[in-house]
Chains A and B, each alone.
Chain A
Amino acid sequence: MAEFIDLVLLAMLAMLALTALRIIFLKDLFAVVMLFGIYSFLSALIFLNLDAVDVAFTEASVGAGISTVLMLVTLAMTGRKEKQSTHSSLLPLFVVLVTGAALIYGTLDMPPFGHPDNPVHQHVAPRYIEESPKEVGLPNMVTSVLASYRGFDTLGETVVVFSAVIGVLSLLGVRRKKKKDLESGLETHRVLHVVAKNIIPLVILFALYVQFHGDFGPGGGFQAGVIAAAAFILYALVLGLPKAFAVVGPRFLQWMAAAGVLLYASVGLYSMYKGGQFLDYNQLAADPIAGQHYGIIIIELGVGITVFAVMLNIFYAFGSQAERSNVQ
């Protein structure tokens, strides 16, 4: 059985390499974006095979889902053909070869794959596995590590996402539509309308499930935020940006993005106020386990809010630019 899984893994890695090579040589950017999506799905499958379900879920929703959408919107703005490059590709090729050789050299001393005596399984991991159900109290250890033991990293990652929207807004900005542009979207496609209207509530429901079930199974704020944003993006694509603006406007999303970060940080501040260290959830309730649980639920909510708001706002920024360039 184990050998069969190894074979599957090898096959998938080979497909990954093939996809990457194809991406390099293709000139049609639309096809490249599609291949990027395939690449992400393949990576997600590999992660799944390695029993890293949370990572696989994130890769599928972020890498294959939202990134593909954002890249497609960018293509709508810029066109789908790659321009002929005037640069010589010898030096980059050399750099890539050296980097690749270094990486291969680095793997020569690598600990054997999946061996229980490997350093990664021997040092910090045992405590996470043995103690986290008692200390943090969650069945999903990945969430325990991400949200509690290394909660500061997750706060940092949330701020990275927040920084991304600051960057996009400063470059593009979201333009509000004038009345005459109202006929954007795919108003005339009846079937799409009906299907979208039926799917969107389910997607949002699923996002909420992923958000609040992250303590027990794979999921959490990052994935949930992306999925919820996908539902709104679908709405905006089918009914047009102005209608989506009427539901949640870009200005409101800016506040939401900030509010998510602040919600996360406020948990840290409150635990400082209670006499603990920053982000010490034990302080949140009389019972440390309950405190951990409250803390993780609130910070995951903060992550979800920020990720949702940022993703949707980036889409708005790209989308309103793309529509403008189409009108011209």
Chain B
Amino acid sequence: MLEQHLAALPIILPLIAAPIALILGRSVLSWGFATLVSGLAFLLSWQLLSAALSEGVISYAVGGWAPPWGIELRVDAANAFVLLAVTAISTLVLVYSKHSIEKEVKATNHTLFYTAHLLCLAGLSGILITGDAFNLFVFLEISSLATYTLVSLASDRRCLTAAFRYLVMGTIGATFILIGVGLLYMKTGTLNMLDLAERIDLYDSSRTINTGLAFIMVGVSIKLALFPLHMWLPPAYTHAPSAVSAFLASTATKVAVYVMIRFIFTVFGIDHVFVDMGMGIILMVLAVVAIFKCSYMATVQSNVKTVLAYSSVAQIGYMILGLSLVSVSGLMASMIHIFNHALMKGALFMAVGAVFYRVGSVEIKDFAGLGRKMPLTMAAFTIAGLSIIGVPLTVGFVSKWYLVSAALEQDQWLVAAFVLVGSLFAVMYIGRVIEAAYFQKLPESRSSEDIKEVSWLMLVPMWVLVIANIYFGIDTSLTTEAANSASEWLFQTNNMLENKVMEGEVLEGHAIEEKAQEVSS
């Protein structure tokens, strides 16, 4: 039974759990329940990944209707890999959020918080696993609505403006995706992604299809906060509750990056997107500017959460850069960075949230002297920060290594240089916080306050991520293997599709000739 439904369960489980969490009503109960469900989803996605690695593609026809008539869930190494990261972070964040949320969210809203978190998890899993373009939009809506709710739950009133901006931008993005899917449907008569891919190329060089491609790419770019469409992200991550920042920074934008990869590689085909439409160079330029500009912006902020938010936009630049290189190694670098960045940013935001829990502020100047008062939290911040910079023995190094070597493979020296410049900026923005924490004295006014280490419930998930940062930095076999088979698989499907299209065209040609003969005779 479990085997049969393995592909569907990571979506169904949190989807059903969300209303139950609302009915449970009590803060502790819904917290425990949400954590349990998220943990189960993690175990399932672990199994799903190993199944996908050994079997290849797992297809699940919802409602028993075969695609393209019904909705298909389609799991492969690529989305199972991202799903694993998403469910892992969700579970850790939920464990962490119990105390963090008590401090940052009104008591009456705790149940709503956990319900929204589960809805968001269900939405993200759905986006990843579905094989249907419209179904993807539906789950995008679920996750987006839940995300706006999560951001707006902070007790700081400024979160409302941030959430509103996010809502407006996010809705525009989602509408663009819907318009794109609609245009594709008009030309192909199908919504199933695989089927779309086969039928799109039959009608190649069509303006309607290309407009659809443009709308989908712009819509997804808003969702993943690609420069210059990232303006919603820094305020949202700054003013959201810390646990939410940790969750969203390490999952939501990554899922959007995956959506872009999926549309490029399995629906439109790289030849069309990168060769015919020349989108590779656009993406590469935007990615490089994102890395440079937003890394710089991160160095001049005074709020540590804003620093991390800008850093996130820059890191998204690395992911897009990897895929814009259009090679197995470039895509692999992107996939690895999706996973690794989740580990880094999760840990960093958790550490900052712990500081907020004790100090009540996340301005850099308020970090002064915390290295002694909160040694474990600041140590976690330091290690995860080193990982962002890309110091050897951390996952950040692995990411940058693959990205730089993928760039050098194609003699893109300038691109490789920008990646390293980004790292230099990271030294600056992480360094400023660490300098305050370890080399500045606790201000007199604060020395009387009772600032001490946070509880183990917050420390454990934070340190699990920190240890993962180091572990996957040394033993890269799991991440590289999964990312490698994911990107190879994506390229394979892409080639397969193109071959199929060639055959299809030949067949079509025959059919047309026969028809012509019939008519003439």
**Contact surface of A with B, Cβ cutoff 8 Å:** 102-103, 105-111, 118-125, 127-128, 148-153, 155-157, 159-160, 162-164, 166-167, 169-171, 173, 254-255, 257-259, 261-262, 265, 268-269, 272, 276-282
Closest B-chain residue to A279, C-beta based? B63
In Å, the complex CA distance between A282 and B65 comes to 10
Q: B119 to A119, Cβ gap below 8 A?
A: no
**In the complex where A107-B208, A277-B62, A281-B63 touch, is A258 in contact with B20 (Cβ < 8 A)?**
yes
The verdict on A159 contacting B149 (CB below 8 Å), with A258-B22, A272-B1, A278-B63 known, is no
Q: How large is the interface on B (under 10, 10 to 19, 20 to 34, 35 or more residues)?
A: 35 or more
Residue contact A167 to B208, C-beta cutoff 8 Å: no
| Residues of chain A within 8 A of B190, CB atoms compared | 119, 123-124
Min CB distance B436 to A, Å, is: 34
Instruction: Judge if B19 is at the interface, Cβ distance under 8 Å.
Output: yes
With beta carbons under 8 angstroms apart, the residue of B62, B134, B189 that contacts A121 is B189
Q: Is the CB of A156 within 8 A of B139?
A: yes
Contact B189 A122 (CB under 8 A): yes
Chain A residues in 8 Å Cβ range of B15: 155, 159, 265
Q: A106-B208, A166-B116 are in contact. List 4 more A-B contacts (CB 8 A).
A: A153-B71, A156-B126, A167-B152, A268-B12
Total CB contacts across the A-B interface at under 8 A:
172
**Interface assignment of B34: CB less than 8 Å from any CB of chain A:** no
**Are A162 and B19 closer than 8 Å at their CB atoms?**
yes
Can you list 19 A-B pairs, Cβ within 8 angstroms, ordered by A?
A: A106-B211, A107-B208, A109-B207, A111-B186, A148-B63, A150-B135, A156-B135, A160-B142, A166-B115, A166-B145, A257-B22, A259-B23, A262-B19, A276-B64, A277-B5, A278-B5, A279-B62, A279-B63, A280-B64
Q: Indicate whether B187 reaches chain A with its CB closer than 8 angstroms.
A: yes
- Least CB distance, B173 to chain A, in whole angstroms: 13
Is the pair A277, B8 in contact by a Cβ cutoff of 8 Å? yes
Q: Which residues of A contact B214 (CB under 8 A)?
A: 102
Cα distance, A279 to B160, chains bound together (Å): 38
> With A106-B208, A120-B185, A149-B70 as given contacts, are A272 and B63 in contact (CB-CB < 8 Å)?
no
B199 touches A277 (CB 8 A): no
Among A152, A166, A280, which residue has its beta carbon within 8 angstroms of that of B135? A152
Of A106, A125, A164, the contact of B145 (CB 8 Å cutoff) = A164
Question: What's the least CB distance linking B40 to chain A, in Å?
Answer: 15
Q: In the complex, what distance in Å separates the CA atom of A265 from the CA atom of B160?
A: 32
Identify which of residues 160-203 in chain B touch chain A, using a CB-to-CB cut-off of 8 Å: 160, 179, 183, 185-190, 199, 203
Please indicate which of the listed interface residues B61, B63, B116, B189 has the most CB atoms of chain A within 10 Å of its own CB: B63
Nearest A residue to B62 by beta-carbon distance? A152
| A155→B19 CA distance, assembly (Å) | 13
Q: Which residues of B from 23 to 42 have beta carbons under 8 Å from A? A: 23
Could you tell me the dominant secondary structure of chain B's interface residues? Answer: helix
CA–CA, A162 to B22, complex, Å? 11
- Can you name the residue of chain A whose Cβ is closest to the Cβ of B143? A163
- A8–B19 alpha-carbon span in the complex (Å): 46
Beta-carbon contact of B208 and A110 below 8 Å: yes
Contact pick for A120, options B18, B108, B186, CB 8 Å: B186
CB pair A258–B112 under 8 Å, yes or no, is no
A57 CA / B301 CA spacing, docked (Å): 51
Q: Contact check: which of B64, B115, B186 meets A277 at CB < 8 Å?
A: B64
Nearest neighbor of A106 in chain B, beta-carbon distance: B211
Residues of B within 8 A of A277 (CB): 5, 8, 60-64
Kindly list chain A residues whose C-beta atoms are within 8 Å of the C-beta of B60: 277-278
Q: In this assembly, does B68 line the interface, its C-beta being within 8 Å of a C-beta of chain A?
A: yes
Bound-complex Cα distance A169 to B1 (A): 38
Other-chain residue from B12, B160, B210 in contact with A278 (beta carbon distance below 8 A): B12
| B339: interface (CB < 8 Å) | no
Given A122-B189, A148-B65, A262-B19, A163:B149 Cβ within 8 A: yes
| Complex contacts, B188 vs chain A, CB 8 Å | 119, 123
User: Whose C-beta in chain A lies nearest to the C-beta of B65?
Assistant: A149
A118 to chain B, nearest CB (A): 7
CB-CB nearest in chain A for B24: A258
B206 at interface by CB-CB < 8 Å: yes
Which residues of chain B come closer than 8 Å to A110, judged between CB atoms?
Answer: 186, 208
Query: B288-310, CB under 8 A of A: which get 1 and which 0?
Result: 00000000000000000000000
In the A-B complex, the 4 residue pairs with the closest CB atoms: A106-B211, A258-B19, A123-B189, A156-B138
B141 engages A109 (CB within 8 Å): no
Query: B256 within 8 Å of A by Cβ?
Result: no
Cβ-closest chain A residue relative to B176: A99
Identify the interface centre among B179, B208, B210: most chain A CB within 10 Å of its CB. Answer: B208
Closest chain A CB from B124 CB (angstroms): 13
CB distance from A30 to the nearest CB of B (A): 22
What is the bound-complex CA distance between A251 and B109, given in angstroms?
14
Q: Are B69 and A127 neighbours in the complex by a CB distance under 8 Å? A: yes
A197 to B134, CA, bound (A): 42
* Cα–Cα, bound, A31→B332 (Å): 54
For residue B457, CB closer than 8 A to chain A, the reply is no
**What is the CA–CA distance of A124 and B70 in the complex, to the nearest angstrom?**
10
Task: Report the bound CA distance from A278 to B188 in whole Å.
Answer: 27
CA distance A105 to B213 in the complex (A): 13
Contact B16 A262 (CB under 8 A): yes
The interface residues of chain A lying within 8 Å CB-to-CB of B64 are 276-277, 280, 282
